[in-house]
Amino acid sequence: MALKLLLVGASVGEHFNRRFRHEAENAAKLQHPNIVQVFGEGEHDGRPYFSMEYIAGPDLARQLREQPPSIKQAVEYVKTLARAVAYAHQRGVLHLDFDKF
C-alpha cells in the first residue's frame, strides 16, 4: 500500500482539501488495469490523505529521462494513458492534475 498525503494541509484552504478528498473518493470507484486502485481516504493532523495500491518498479519520469523511448514505445505510452483517462472521464472523474492544462 502507498499513501498520498497533502503535505500543506489546512494552509491551502478548505476548497483544495475538499477537492483532494473528492478526487480520492471518485478514484476509489475506478477499476482499470492502468489506474492505481485507491482504497480509501482520511485525515491526519489536519492533512488529507488517501491510501492506494503500491506499484513496484521504476518511476516513469526518471525512466524517460534516462532512456528516451522509441517513437513506437512513446505512442504505446500515450495510447495507454489516453485509454485510462477516457475510462475515468466516462465515469465523471477528472484527475486533479489534469485541470492545469
Distance CA 16, CA 9 (A): 9
59 is catalytic: no
Sheet holding 47-52, edge to edge: 2-5, 47-52, 38-44
What is the distance between the alpha carbons of residues 64 and 54, in angstroms, rounded to a whole number?
20
Considering 45, 59, 97, 99, which one is annotated as catalytic? 97
What positions carry a catalytic annotation? 97
